[in-house]
């Protein structure tokens, strides 16, 4: 059975990903590509600072293109490079083709919200706002994997790679859905499940598992037979906004040390308190299996 979705009901999506930072972006990229309800307008490879690489955005670009080649989709998905580093300050953009893509899609006359999923730093959203302030009035939903626990905050990797950008976005009028660290870390999948549910499904399944094991062996200093797919909640909440419990809270701002500043001046944002990780994982496993078998997700 094939299921089709009327064009006017599909979900407008852009994915922004620091794809070569760890081993979880890859799963969330593939999941977004394989979700037929998504009208995917493009993928923006993002930087992830200089702590791991001096060419982190280019590394993310190369990884994104590798995933598309393994899926046989290299010429079917638009990819535009994001900023090479963080914005200099809260008033200065880091222009990029990725930020231009956000602006172009945001300014289109379309009644459907434009969902922009950020798996890493939020640099390109802040840059787009600074480059074209009119998009603040457009129908945009920013879904961000980032920030530490509420209400204190503190060190968190995605936020650390561009605190100024987070302040630009959180001070804006944009609709923001935040998935903070205590939530995105609750996406564990074991090696046994990966070997049974992912590895057998084509070159892309094989690669996803092998790069996960390779990453753990290189970065984790104890025996570890699991990975938390911490970017995949972005896909889950775009598919199903109630894929977790959430509260509306006044948007905070951030100190240089990444603690929350609760000024109570900013508009409310959606902050997720938990996530239905089994819904997200099972959906991914099913879509990957169907893609390997049929060349399409549904």
Q: In this predicted model, what pLDDT tens digit does every residue of 249-292 receive, in sequence order? A: 999 999 999 999 999 999 999 999 999 999 999 999 999 999 99
Mean pLDDT over residues 162-170, rounded? 98
| Residue 290 covered by a domain | yes
At residue 15, the pLDDT reads: 99
- Confidence band for 222, pLDDT divided at 50, 70 and 90: confident
- Residue 261 sits at φ, ψ, to 5 deg, of -115, 115
Q: The tokens of 211 are what?
A: 């790069």
| Residue 244 covered by a domain | yes
- Confidence band for 4, pLDDT divided at 50, 70 and 90: confident
Return left, alpha or beta for 34; rule: phi > 0 is left, psi -120 to 50 is alpha, else beta: alpha
Residue 18 has pLDDT above 80, yes or no: yes
- Is the Cβ–Cβ distance between 11 and 37 less than 8 Å? yes
Instruction: Give me the number of domains the chain comprises.
Output: 1
Q: How far is CA 259 from CA 156, 182, 248, 278, in A?
A: 10, 15, 19, 31
Report how far residue 134's alpha carbon sits from residue 221's, in angstroms, rounded to the nearest whole number. Answer: 48
| Residue 182 covered by a domain | yes
Residue numbers of the domain that contains 68: 8-294
Structure-model confidence comparison of residues 197 and 220, the more confident one:
197
Helix-, strand-, coil-residue percentages of the chain, each rounded to 5: 40, 20, 40
Residue 296 has pLDDT above 80, yes or no: no
| Residue 3 covered by a domain | no
Query: Beta partners for 268?
Result: 250
In the block, residue with structure tokens 């753990």: 216
Per-residue pLDDT tens for 44-88? 999 999 999 999 999 999 999 999 999 999 999 999 999 999 999
- Confidence band for 295, pLDDT divided at 50, 70 and 90: confident
| Residue 1 covered by a domain | no
Residue 221's CB: how many other CB atoms inside 10 A? Answer: 5
Per-residue pLDDT tens for 105-123? 999 999 999 999 999 999 9
| Residue 129 covered by a domain | yes
| Residue 175 covered by a domain | yes
Report how far residue 187's alpha carbon sits from residue 20's, in angstroms, rounded to the nearest whole number. Answer: 19
Mean pLDDT over residues 152-174, rounded? 98
Residue 78's CB: how many other CB atoms inside 10 A? Answer: 12
Report how far residue 282's alpha carbon sits from residue 152's, in angstroms, rounded to the nearest whole number. Answer: 33
Residue 298 has pLDDT above 80, yes or no: no
Residue 97's CB: how many other CB atoms inside 10 A? Answer: 14
Report how far residue 168's alpha carbon sits from residue 171's, in angstroms, rounded to the nearest whole number. Answer: 5
Residue 297 has pLDDT above 80, yes or no: no
> Residue 146's domain is classified under what CATH number?
3.90.245.10
Kindly report the average pLDDT of the chain as a whole number. 97
The model's pTM is 0.97
Q: 5 CB contacts (<8 Å, ≥6 apart)?
A: 36, 37
| Residue 2 covered by a domain | no
């Amino acid at each position: 059975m094939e299921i089709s979705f009327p064009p006017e009901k599909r979900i407008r999506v852009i994915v922004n990903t620091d794809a070569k930072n760890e081993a979880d972006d890859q799963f969330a990229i593939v999941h977004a590509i394989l979700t037929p309800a998504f009208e995917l307008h493009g993928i923006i490879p993002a930087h992830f600072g200089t702590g791991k690489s001096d060419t982190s955005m280019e590394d993310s670009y190369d990884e994104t293109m590798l995933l598309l080649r393994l899926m046989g989709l290299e010429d079917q998905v638009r990819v535009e490079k994001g900023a090479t580093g963080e914005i200099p300050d809260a008033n200065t953009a880091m222009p990029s083709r990725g930020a231009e893509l956000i602006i172009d899609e945001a300014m289109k006359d379309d009644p459907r919200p434009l969902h922009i999923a950020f798996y890493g730093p939020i640099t390109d959203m802040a840059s787009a706002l600074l480059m074209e302030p009119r998009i603040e009035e457009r129908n945009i939903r920013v879904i961000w994997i980032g920030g530490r626990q509420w209400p204190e905050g503190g060190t968190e990797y995605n936020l650390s790679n561009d605190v100024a950008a987070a302040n630009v976005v959180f001070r804006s009028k944009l609709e923001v859905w935040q998935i903070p660290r205590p939530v995105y870390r609750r996406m564990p999948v074991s090696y046994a499940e990966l070997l049974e549910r992912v590895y057998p499904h084509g070159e892309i399944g094989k690669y996803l598992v092998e790069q996960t094991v390779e990453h753990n062996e290189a970065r984790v200093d104890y025996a570890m037979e699991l990975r938390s797919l911490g970017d995949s909640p972005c896909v889950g909440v775009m598919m199903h906004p109630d894929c977790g419990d959430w509260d509306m809270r006044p948007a905070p701002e951030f100190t240089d040390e990444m603690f929350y500043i609760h000024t109570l001046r900013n508009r409310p944002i959606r902050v997720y308190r938990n996530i239905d990780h089994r819904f997200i994982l099972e959906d991914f496993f099913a879509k990957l299996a169907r893609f390997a078998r049929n060349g399409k997700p549904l």
